[in-house]
Amino acid sequence: MPKRRSKLRIAMVGHAFMGRAHSNAMRQANRFFDLPFDIEMAVVVGRDADRAEAARAQFGFAEASIDLEATLAREDIDLIDVATPNDTHAPITLAALKAGKNVMCEKPLALNTREAKSMAALAKKKGLKVGMWHNYRRCPAATLAQKIVARGDIGKIRHVRAVYLQDWLSDASTPASWRTDASVCGSGAHGDLNAHLIDMTHFLTGLRFTDVSAIEATFIKSRKDGSGKKRTVDVDDALAFLARFDNGAIGTFEATRSAPGRKNYNKIELSGEKGSIVWNLERMNELAVFRFDGPADTRGFQTVMCMDDVHPYAGQWWPDGHIIGYEHTFVHTLVDFVLSMRGKKPFSPSFDDGVAVQQVLDASLKAAKTRRWVKVS
Ligand code: SOE
């Protein structure tokens, strides 16, 4: 008889792009990883009954609901997954924590540092398990990069060079959406894409940002929404910033949705005193590594394919070299979160990590608006 495991019942709020990615992770996690819980996709919560029902049927939840309050009041729900647009991360999370639920939340944690801190404080006060879906940390090659840096293989970090380039807002005919409305998303490419770069920098290097200076641009100042109504775009299309770190290193960061030809070009390069590392989501299973040791005449960047069983997560999937993709990074995130619910190992990114990202986002947005260097508090 197989050992019976306890159930972990999840209610997912929101069912668009991220809901699809998260629910796929919920379906795959037990099939590929040995977990202390059987994940049960209990409820998907939405705002519209027909759409929530369609998501239930397609994603495989047992029930659909448009009543968040009633869902939070249910005793049989263990974890609330927040997969909604940014302005609802804080209210949904705070309500879930008040109801005694564990929470996984999409990035960025909140619209601003104040909101993010209130979420982190309540989670601590309630002693509940919380985490964030910064999924790129858990690409095997990115996780390996963190190990390489922590081992000291490239020495003390001197430079962080990071870009996140997309092109879907290049064209003025692309409609307005919640992603171009500051009251819903907080900021544009900055909060959406620089949030990933900032989190990845924290994860890979352990460094903290001290000061930032920034420029931003909104190239297309109004767009029509789905019904043809003209909407002002009050967020950045692009925001670039310079940073100083607590160890004396310097960094450059650029996020844009107006870089024709760049689809999801999320690239980070670290230069240390002994070597360098480059990772790019568009070649997500490879890591470029350079080190000054070894014979000088064959020295150069080496491309490591991070898909052997010696690499993080890879051995749980397919035989060596049988590559994985974007969706697997969400599976890894969920797996580590679920493991952390039983074990002693804390899960990161935590809400404190989300606050740290938000502080850099807020400081660099302020730097762009005031055209001054701003200290990261
Ligand atoms: C859209 O720009 C988006 O889907 C982001 O919201 C994600 O966080 C990023 O991973 C890819 O691009």
Give me the tens of pLDDT residue by residue for the chain, a chain 377 residues long.
445 579 999 999 999 999 999 999 999 999 999 999 999 999 999 999 999 999 999 999 999 999 999 999 999 999 999 999 999 999 999 999 999 999 999 999 999 999 999 999 999 999 999 999 999 999 999 999 999 999 999 999 999 999 999 999 999 999 999 999 999 999 999 999 999 999 999 999 999 999 999 999 999 999 999 999 999 999 999 999 999 999 999 999 999 999 999 999 999 999 999 999 999 999 999 999 999 998 999 999 999 999 999 999 999 999 999 999 999 999 999 999 999 998 767 899 999 999 999 999 999 999 999 999 999 98
For the chain, report the end-to-end CA distance as a whole number of angstroms: 55
CA–centroid distance, 233 to ligand 1, in Å, is 18
Tell me if 9 sits within 8 A of 42, measured CB to CB.
yes
Question: Could you tell me where in the chain the CATH 3.40.50.720 domains are found?
Answer: 7-135
At 3 the pLDDT is 56
CA–centroid distance, 215 to ligand 1, in Å, is 21
Give the number of the atom of ligand 1 that is nearest the alpha carbon of residue 195: 8
Cis bond upstream, residue 349 (ω within 30): yes
Spatial distance between the Cα atoms of 375 and 369, rounded to a whole number of angstroms: 14
- Picking from 5, 29, 129, the residue whose alpha carbon sits closest to that of residue 335 is 29
Give the number of the atom of ligand 1 that is nearest the alpha carbon of residue 107: 8
Binding site membership of 264 for ligand 1 (Cβ less than 6 Å): yes
Spatial distance between the Cα atoms of 87 and 183, rounded to a whole number of angstroms: 7
Nearest Cα residue to atom 11 of ligand 1:
264
- Picking from 279, 280, 211, 268, the residue whose alpha carbon sits closest to that of residue 243 is 211
CA–centroid distance, 368 to ligand 1, in Å, is 22
Residue with tokens 């819903």: 184
Spatial distance between the Cα atoms of 356 and 243, rounded to a whole number of angstroms: 14
Provide long-range contacts, Cβ within 8 A and 24+ apart, for 258-265: 258/167, 258/169, 258/170, 258/219, 259/165, 259/166, 259/167, 259/170, 260/167, 260/170, 261/167, 262/165, 262/166, 262/167, 263/166, 263/167, 264/166, 265/163, 265/164, 265/165, 265/166
Residue 335: which residues within 8 A CB-CB, separation 6 or more?
Answer: 29, 33, 35
CA–centroid distance, 192 to ligand 1, in Å, is 6
CA–centroid distance, 193 to ligand 1, in Å, is 7
Binding site membership of 192 for ligand 1 (Cβ less than 6 Å): yes
At 344 the pLDDT is 61
Spatial distance between the Cα atoms of 176 and 237, rounded to a whole number of angstroms: 12
Residue with tokens 């309050």: 69
Residue 73: which residues within 8 A CB-CB, separation 6 or more?
Answer: 99
- Picking from 45, 37, 116, 106, the residue whose alpha carbon sits closest to that of residue 78 is 37
Spatial distance between the Cα atoms of 123 and 99, rounded to a whole number of angstroms: 11
- Picking from 114, 63, 123, the residue whose alpha carbon sits closest to that of residue 93 is 123
CA–centroid distance, 264 to ligand 1, in Å, is 8
At 115 the pLDDT is 98
Give the number of the atom of ligand 1 that is nearest the alpha carbon of residue 136: 10
- Picking from 84, 270, 241, 286, the residue whose alpha carbon sits closest to that of residue 178 is 84
Nearest Cα residue to atom 8 of ligand 1:
192
CATH number of 7-135: 3.40.50.720
Spatial distance between the Cα atoms of 104 and 204, rounded to a whole number of angstroms: 21
Given this structure, which CATH class describes domain 139-375?
alpha beta
Question: Could you tell me where in the chain the CATH 3.30.360.10 domains are found?
Answer: 139-375
Q: What are phi and psi of 186, to 5 degrees?
A: 90, -60
Tell me if 133 sits within 8 A of 330, measured CB to CB.
yes
Give the number of the atom of ligand 1 that is nearest the alpha carbon of residue 106: 8
Spatial distance between the Cα atoms of 237 and 228, rounded to a whole number of angstroms: 21
Spatial distance between the Cα atoms of 234 and 220, rounded to a whole number of angstroms: 10
Q: How far is CA 180 from the centre of its chain?
A: 19
At 345 the pLDDT is 78
Mutate which of 264, 266, 284, 329 to test ligand 1's pocket (most atoms within 8 Å of Cβ)?
A: 264
